Structure 1
Amino acid sequence: MTSTDLIAALEARVVAAERLAQRAYDRGAVENVFSKYMHLHNVFEDEQIKPLWVKKGTAGIHAQYTNVGVYTDYDSVMAYHSGRPSPAGKLILHETTTPLIEVAEDGKTAKGFWLMAGVESGLSDPANVGTMPEFLYEPEDKNVDGKRVWTHWVWCQYALDFLKQDGEWKIWHFRCLEVTRAPFSENWITFANKNQIAFDKIADVYSPNRARKLDVPLPSPYKTFADVEEY
């Protein structure tokens, strides 16, 4: 091998190493964006969540929160994050885990998939209880200060697409798919049997009457976003 060939080979290795390092850095940056989202979501700081999204005018922005309600433009997504109720006594603690993140070879987009286990709870004025099924609440002998108590375990999947804009990773597509939940005083099997009517059309929601399967494909290595299915 001539010195010219050796230099060319070394330069190629440096370029490949730089690309690999950039993708590793981008993977960490993507994970940080979603982690920041979840920490802010847990304390109802939605005004700080808004800048984590792609900028207004970005084509294709959409979000799905739990198994109902799809928001298909920037304004509706921002409206969801405006004035989210956070009364005294309400607790949201969603803990995400098992991240599976793939950054595209071209470095322009990324896909991420997470599992979440958490709790949701709060107090309701008895006058408002009739708007929701009775089985969502704890028994009346568990009332606190005359208010009905709702305390739920909840398990979800999060599937997100990210877009790099102006050198920063932003949330582009967002899907939260609730797998199952259960009140504190009940197990998830009997509760799912009662609550299945709410989620009959979602394949991945747990039911005692069907086998589990993924509702969305897991991220896998890809070159450009045109090669994959969007979340």
Structure 2
Amino acid sequence: MSSLAELEARVVAAEKLAQRAHDRGAVENVFSKYMHLHNHFMDEDIKPLWVKRGTPGIHAQYTNNGVYTEYDSVMAYHSGRPAPLGKLILHETTTPIIEVADDGETAQGYWLMAGVESGLTTAEQVGDVTGSGVGMPDSLYEDPSHNVDGRRVWAHWVWCQYALDFLKQDGEWKIWHFRCLETARAPYGENWITFAARNELMFNKDLAYFGKDGHPVFMPTPDKPAESIAYVYSPDRSRKLDVHLPSPYKTFKEVKEY
């Protein structure tokens, strides 16, 4: 028969395991909630999912052009994003790897995302005939024969990786560090290989989203240059992991942050 001390140790171990399982589910719920809200343009409801103002180390990187390292610059991405008529964003996340630290204070998560992004654009938003750098290339849109009510259609397949660090604050899990790493993209009427061979302009312009009337809105100026980048699919290079996968750890000082 087990001694009382052994039974107590087993109870403590079981409670710790149950807490980590609970925390893992809570972390997954935070990111899933983020994505559902993002799909419905509910950015003001996304803001409370982040760590509170003044939390050291907050940062987000959405593209290869830079990192946002201040609370206000991170929140700027979630401010003023419209929900135009006819626009559809449907990002579906899958294949999560989530590791909660032994101390229960932080967690790391990694997801794949497959989705669609689409909407309608007025003619003046297409191309860059003036050299102003405002319009987006004609090749991002469907053929004019598919116009709807005189507006150009943009409809893209998109695939990304998401890598996040979470911090427990006041007993709740919050987003602390955020990485979106685009893997591939293609207009509905084209495959991703031929598109990848000529789409560098889109990424160089650092597009955030298409807003009202399909007007392209670009990312806010980042706080610092990117130290690591997403290796967006190209026919002239091999695939590799852009970031490490989460693995068991004791405290956050043992791992590389996302």
Output the TM-score relative to the length of structure 1.
0.95
2:16 to 10, 19, 26: 19
- Partners of 1:67 and 1:176 within 8 A in 2: no
Output the TM-score relative to the length of structure 2.
0.85
Query: Shift in Å at residue 203 of structure 1?
Result: 4.9
Q: How far, CA to CA, are the matches of 2:200 and 2:76 in structure 1?
A: 28
Letter in 1 for 2:83: S
Which structure dedicates a bigger proportion of its chain to helix?
Answer: 1
Q: How far, CA to CA, are the matches of 1:70 and 1:29 in structure 2?
A: 26
1:212 to 210, 223, 239: 239
Q: How many residues align?
A: 228
The corresponding residue for 1:132 is 136
Q: How far, CA to CA, are the matches of 1:47 and 1:81 in structure 2?
A: 7
Which moved further from structure 2: 33-42 or 133-142? 133-142
Q: How far, CA to CA, are the matches of 2:245 and 2:169 in structure 1?
A: 24
Letter in 2 for 1:138: E
The corresponding residue for 1:178 is 182
The runs of at least 4 consecutive aligned structure 1 residues that moved more than 3 Å come to: 66-69, 196-203
1:65 is paired with a residue of what secondary structure? Answer: strand
Higher relative contact order (Cα pairs below 8 Å, separated by 6+ residues): 2
**Residue 100 in structure 1 maps to residue 97 in structure 2:** yes
What is the 5 A alignment of 1:90-169? Answer: 90-130=87-127, 131-169=135-173
- Partners of 1:156 and 1:179 within 8 A in 2: yes
- 1:32-90, Cα deviation, whole Å (9 max, x unpaired): 00000000000000111000000000011111224445321111111111111321111
- 1:4-23, Cα deviation, whole Å (9 max, x unpaired): x8111111111111111100
Query: Shift in Å at residue 202 of structure 1?
Result: 3.7
Percent pairwise identity: 77
Q: How far, CA to CA, are the matches of 1:85 and 1:51 in structure 2?
A: 19
- 1:173-215, Cα deviation, whole Å (9 max, x unpaired): 0011000000000000000011146559845311111110011
Aligned-CA RMSD value? 1.6
Gaps of 5+ in 1: none
